Amino acid sequence: MNNNLSISRNHPLNDTTTIQISAPTLQKPTSYSSLIATIFPKLAGLMAIDESSSVAVAHRLDRKSSIALQTEAIERASRHEASSLIWDSESQKYYLIHPTLLEDDAPAAFPIGVTSHQGMPRAIKILAPGNPPTVPVLELSFETL
């Protein structure tokens, strides 16, 4: 079984141009952790490295200090840009949690609905938080991909 997930987007003006956004490794949830994957956009990491490199050059930092600055920048970007895909065994549902979309000062959890046909996924819906979560924020159909 392949444990890699590729998340891509199409260019809005050219549907033949696909850009990979993230490639997290999936892990099986356990009784200790419901985390399936951490999704960190590549662009956020690249921007953090680029900005910290510019600061390192401007301040003439040595190699060790430059690497420390880059590491700190990536960690900071991850805290703001990375989402967690989790499995809730009680509700038997997947949730996508993003740290900057806050609901009462806590990260918002977006329920995910998967529609399947003959055991194969046909559509994925990321739903708005709420009770009951029924409003799709993003809907992906495998028939149109």
Return the residue matching tokens 């890699």. 4
Instruction: Decide: residue 111, CB within 10 A, 0-12 exposed, 13-18 middle, 19+ buried.
Output: buried
Residues 73-130: tens digit of each pLDDT: 999 999 888 888 888 888 777 788 877 765 666 666 677 776 666 666 666 677 666 6
106 half-sphere exposure, CB direction, 13 A CA radius: 4
Residue 1: per-residue pLDDT? 43
Residues 11-29: tens digit of each pLDDT: 667 667 777 777 777 788 8
Residue 116: per-residue pLDDT? 67
Read off the tokens for 5: 């997930």
Under DSSP, is residue 46 helix (H, G, I), strand (E, B) or coil?
helix
66 or 5, greater pLDDT: 66
55 or 105, greater pLDDT: 55
Read off the tokens for 7: 């998340």
